[in-house]
């Protein structure tokens, strides 16, 4: 009898453990965070007619206090509550979006990339055309281009534009008596001096592979300057990285940085956060990156953010010097949304003066806005002010992924291979061309 | 009820199982064979014959993927068999706190693979990780475990062995306990040593357990994905890509037909490696 009891206890214990384990495994997938509503319950939603909209955003969006502030303002002023669901970033997140679109399980609003990644979703099938909406008049045409297909316009900008460029630490530059380089050779000479001074010349964070692409993506202004029709020919399958020396130069630059030993010791595993810390504290002098890091740096190192400056990726010719810009992510309305009217009001508010004011009450922009008549505030980041000059003089070009619908999915891995010495620039260019061809096939482009 | 019906009767009990197995296993398997021949966007598809397979075989990282998959599967299998057997022999010998030690050995098997992956990747950080910090105390400069393309895969394999050896040990313990003690007694009377006992009795008679461990570890290793993904994401570059991670990356890129074709190939590959080995080792099994 005692033995039998023991069996029962054991059975219950095993069942219990199994259930705890199952519960622990299942928890992580679909966390739902309400858009900051717990922090600010203003009591204005007492009318009882509150509308609720669901929204799918990437994990980094909720780190932006400005974005959260706009959601709060929308709830307060329009009585529309936004129920935010967070998805992972990168390819994993794209996958979530694609699967949910295909299975008809998309939220009412979607925050997603503009440009090539949006085109890969086949937007006309899933999103409401906003072309006729009056609020779209505020959006600059250059932005509409990257959220349009089949003569329809699908999204509003989720924040300001930004650039992909070289962030540098001004204190290090002062200390070593360096000047902002105008050519690639000058940059490499600076790197040599920084290395001799015992600091990391080029911060490299392959622990998060996507960060490896910046030296090639930010080189597109230079490619465009020399091969004006590259983007079109590339989209039509005529121009390739391997047979366009100007384009292949981006891979070569990564290779040169590696071969000269300018990277931090732990570059193969260092993370994005570690990169930000290094550039802020000046243990590293350069970080090729998107200016989206500025608000995060400000949050973590508020006293150091204005030590960071920015310059374009230099070309081989001093007369070619301009910034490669990134268009902001877009917010789209799902065609299947129950309350499309409320969603339109939501978008209208988001890019209205009130929406911008709410955003700027909590965060600063990372570049000029793509909305008409919106000026940068006076207390912008030092780096953004440096960027402004290039914008005013018109020395800017959108990144390749905004002028062509194709971007090969393996680019991060290819760049890390070149940057860690296991692949040459020429091999990388050839491999990336194959990768791009696969993407073109999937998009149904006729390349043969 | 005629005789025929009577014979059929027991089979009715199989219906629920067949329904479940059919819906959740057979139908998806058949569908994936079908979709591997299509250009597929999840909503519509177009039949394109063997294009996906041709494309998959042109995948530039595929050679690395095949090699890595085999290296990973055989390394982890070897590690689990050797360590598992050693631990099992130790844990069935006359030692104190046997139960506690057995629990400790089994503990890693209970952990979530992703959690293990993240923990180990932080422990293996070249300058700040625990492992290299300890090594530096005794004057050794530890390698860049996950950042060096030459050893990254082995670092992941080591972690997989750590995590999987508990199961192997439990299977071996069960196998060792089933060996009748009179064989050992006979050997003792004849004056045999402990080494002889292990070599002539334990090793051959734990064969059934060993075969189970080999097959389980091998199949597990061939289709490993989660641990590699958590620790290296297939990198640096493509150096730790396994077949499963290549398939995953294609799926994530939206090449659904192509990645399904990859999955079908992975299925065939696992079958091609596992079945002959299964047959081979089973022939060598002896009766107790």
Q: Are residues A86 and A195 in the same domain?
A: no
d(CA B143, CA B123): 12
Is A23 in CB contact (< 8 Å) with chain B? no
pLDDT at B31 over 70: yes
Q: Are residues A140 and A279 in the same domain?
A: no
Taking residues B189-208, what's their average pLDDT?
90
pLDDT in tens, B73-95: 999 999 999 999 999 999 998 88
Helix, strand, or coil (residue A13):
helix
Q: Search chain A and give the residue with CA nearest B229.
A: A92
Taking residues B240-260, what's their average pLDDT?
88
pLDDT in tens, A255-296: 999 999 999 999 998 999 999 999 999 999 999 999 999 988
Q: Are residues A142 and A190 in the same domain?
A: no
Domain assignment present for A245? yes
Q: Are residues A147 and A235 in the same domain?
A: no
Range of the domain at A303: 162-326+396-442
* pLDDT at residue number A38: 39
Is B234 in CB contact (< 8 Å) with chain A? yes
* pLDDT at residue number A264: 95
* pLDDT at residue number A9: 56
Question: Which is nearest to A115 in space by CA: A413, A328, A368?
Answer: A328
Q: Are residues A75 and A148 in the same domain?
A: yes
Domain assignment present for B63? yes
| Contact list, B254 vs chain A (CB under 8 Å) | 94-95, 98, 120, 409, 442
Cβ of A21: how many Cβ atoms within 10 Å? 13
Domain assignment present for B170? yes
Please state, rounded to an integer, the average pLDDT across all residues of chain B: 89
pLDDT in tens, A35-50: 333 333 343 444 457 8
State the helix-helix crossing angle for B152-177 and B62-92, rounded to 10 degrees: 40
Q: Which of A53-57, A210-214, A405-409 bottoms out in mean pLDDT, i.e. has the lowest?
A: A405-409
pLDDT in tens, A154-198: 999 998 999 999 999 999 999 999 999 999 999 999 999 999 999
pLDDT at A5 over 90: no
pLDDT at A33 over 60: no
* pLDDT at residue number A448: 65
Number of domains in chain B: 1
Q: Are residues A275 and A136 in the same domain?
A: no
Nearest-neighbour CA in chain A from B105: distance (Å): 17
pLDDT at A201 over 80: yes
Domain assignment present for B138? yes
Q: What secondary structure does DSSP assign to B30-85, as a single string?
A: HHHHHHTTEEE-SS-EEE-TTHHHHHHHH-TTHHHHHHHHHHHHHHHHHHHHHHHH
Q: Are residues A402 and A358 in the same domain?
A: no
Does the distance separating the beta carbons of B254 and A95 come in below 8 Å?
A: yes
pLDDT in tens, B91-146: 998 888 888 999 999 999 999 999 999 999 999 998 889 999 999 999 888 898 99
Domain assignment present for A199? yes
Domain assignment present for B158? yes
Is B144 in CB contact (< 8 Å) with chain A? yes
* pLDDT at residue number A34: 39
Q: And the tokens for B173?
A: 């313990």
Domain assignment present for A5? no
Nearest-neighbour CA in chain A from B149: distance (Å): 8
Domain assignment present for A369? yes
d(CA A402, CA A384): 21
Alpha-carbon torsion, ordered A69, A72, A74, A80, to 10 deg: 150
Q: Are residues A187 and A144 in the same domain?
A: no
Q: What is the CATH number of the domain that holds A351?
A: 3.40.190.10
pLDDT at A18 over 70: no
Domain assignment present for B87? yes
Q: Are residues A333 and A425 in the same domain?
A: no
pTM, rounded to two decimals? 0.81
* pLDDT at residue number A13: 53
Q: Which of A196-205, B74-83, B196-205 bottoms out in mean pLDDT, i.e. has the lowest?
A: B196-205
Dihedral of alpha carbons B125, B131, B134, B139, sign: negative
State the helix-helix crossing angle for B256-283 and B27-35, rounded to 10 degrees: 120
| Contact list, B258 vs chain A (CB under 8 Å) | 438, 442
| Beta-strand relationship, A308-311 and A162-169 | antiparallel
Is B53 in CB contact (< 8 Å) with chain A? no
Domain assignment present for B271? yes
Number of domains in chain A: 2
Domain assignment present for A60? yes
pLDDT-based confidence at residue A433 (cuts at 50, 70, 90): very high
User: ∠A280-A284-A285 over CA atoms, to 5°?
Assistant: 90
Range of the domain at B191: 36-281
pLDDT at B3 over 90: no
Q: Are residues A281 and A423 in the same domain?
A: yes
Percent of all residues in chain A with a pLDDT value above 70, rounded to a whole number: 89
Does the distance separating the beta carbons of A422 and B149 come in below 8 Å?
A: yes
Q: Are residues A56 and A112 in the same domain?
A: yes
Domain assignment present for B14? no
pLDDT at A27 over 80: no
What are the E-state strand segments in A266-341?
284-290, 308-311, 323-326, 330-333
Q: What is the CATH number of the domain that holds B251?
A: 1.10.3720.10
């Amino acid at each position: 009898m005692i033995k039998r009891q023991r069996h029962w206890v054991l059975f219950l214990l095993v069942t219990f453990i199994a259930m705890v384990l199952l519960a622990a495994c299942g928890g992580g997938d679909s966390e739902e965070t309400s858009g900051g509503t717990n922090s600010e319950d203003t009591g204005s939603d007492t009318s009882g007619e509150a509308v609720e909209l669901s929204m799918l955003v990437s994990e980094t969006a909720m780190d932006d206090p400005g974005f959260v502030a706009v959601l709060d303002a929308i709830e307060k002023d329009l009585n529309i509550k936004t129920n935010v669901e967070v998805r992972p970033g990168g390819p994993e997140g794209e996958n979530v979006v694609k699967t949910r679109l295909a299975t008809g399980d998309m939220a009412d609003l979607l925050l997603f990339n503009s440009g090539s990644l949006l085109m890969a979703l086949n937007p006309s099938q899933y999103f409401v055309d906003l072309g006729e909406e009056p609020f779209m008049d505020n959006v600059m045409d250059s932005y509409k281009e990257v959220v349009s297909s089949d003569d329809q316009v699908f999204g509003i900008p989720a924040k300001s534009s930004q650039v992909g460029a070289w962030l540098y630490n001004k204190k290090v530059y002062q200390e070593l008596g360096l000047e902002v380089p105008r050519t690639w050779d000058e940059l490499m000479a600076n790197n040599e001096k920084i290395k001799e001074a015992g600091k990391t010349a080029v911060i490299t964070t392959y622990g998060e592979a996507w960060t490896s692409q910046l030296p090639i993506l930010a080189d597109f202004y230079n490619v465009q300057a020399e091969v004006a029709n590259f983007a079109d020919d590339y989209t039509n399958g005529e121009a390739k990285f391997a047979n366009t020396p100007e384009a292949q130069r981006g891979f070569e630059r990564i290779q040169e940085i590696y071969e000269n030993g300018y990277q931090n010791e732990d570059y193969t595993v260092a993370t994005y956060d570690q990169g930000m810390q290094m550039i802020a504290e000046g243990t590293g002098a350069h970080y090729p990156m998107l200016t989206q890091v500025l608000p995060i740096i400000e949050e973590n190192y508020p006293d150091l953010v204005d030590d960071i400056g920015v310059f374009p990726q230099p070309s081989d010719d001093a007369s070619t010097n301009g910034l490669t810009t990134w268009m902001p992510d877009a917010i789209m309305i799902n065609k299947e949304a129950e309350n499309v009217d409320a969603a339109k009001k939501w978008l209208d508010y988001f890019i209205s003066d009130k929406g911008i004011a709410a955003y700027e009450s909590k965060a600063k922009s990372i570049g000029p806005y793509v909305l008409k008549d919106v000026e940068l505030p006076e207390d912008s980041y030092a780096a953004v002010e440096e960027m402004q000059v290039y914008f005013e003089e018109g020395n800017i070009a959108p990144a390749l992924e905004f002028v062509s619908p194709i971007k090969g999915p393996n680019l991060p891995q290819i760049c890390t291979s070149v940057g860690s010495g296991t692949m040459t620039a020429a091999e990388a260019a050839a491999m990336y061309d194959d990768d791009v061809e696969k993407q073109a096939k999937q998009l149904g482009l006729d390349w043969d | 009820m005629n005789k025929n019906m009577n014979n059929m009767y027991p089979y009715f009990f199989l219906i629920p199982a067949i329904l479940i197995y059919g819906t959740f296993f057979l139908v998806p398997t058949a569908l994936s064979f079908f979709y591997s021949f299509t250009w597929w966007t999840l909503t519509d598809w177009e039949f394109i014959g063997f294009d996906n397979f041709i494309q998959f075989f042109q995948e530039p990282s595929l050679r690395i993927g095949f090699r890595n998959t085999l290296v990973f599967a055989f390394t982890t299998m070897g590690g689990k068999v050797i360590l598992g057997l050693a631990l099992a022999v130790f844990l069935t010998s006359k030692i104190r706190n046997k139960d506690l030690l057995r629990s400790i050995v089994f503990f890693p098997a209970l952990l979530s693979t992703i959690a293990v992956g993240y923990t180990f990747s932080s422990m293996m950080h070249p300058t700040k990780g625990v492992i290299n910090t300890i090594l530096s105390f005794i004057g050794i400069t530890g390698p860049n475990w996950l950042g060096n393309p030459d050893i990254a895969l082995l670092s992941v394999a080591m972690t997989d062995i750590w995590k999987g050896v508990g199961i192997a040990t439990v299977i071996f313990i069960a196998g060792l306990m089933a060996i009748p003690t009179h064989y050992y007694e006979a050997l003792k009377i004849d004056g045999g040593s402990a080494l002889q006992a292990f070599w002539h009795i334990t090793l051959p008679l734990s064969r059934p357990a060993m075969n189970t461990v080999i097959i389980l570890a091998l199949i597990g290793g061939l289709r490993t994905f989660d641990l590699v993904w958590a620790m290296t994401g297939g990198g640096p570059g493509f150096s730790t890509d396994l077949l499963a991670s290549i398939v995953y990356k294609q799926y994530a890129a939206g090449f659904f037909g192509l990645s399904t074709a990859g999955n079908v190939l992975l299925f065939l590959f696992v079958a091609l490696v596992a079945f002959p080995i299964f047959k081979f080792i089973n022939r060598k099994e002896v009766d107790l």
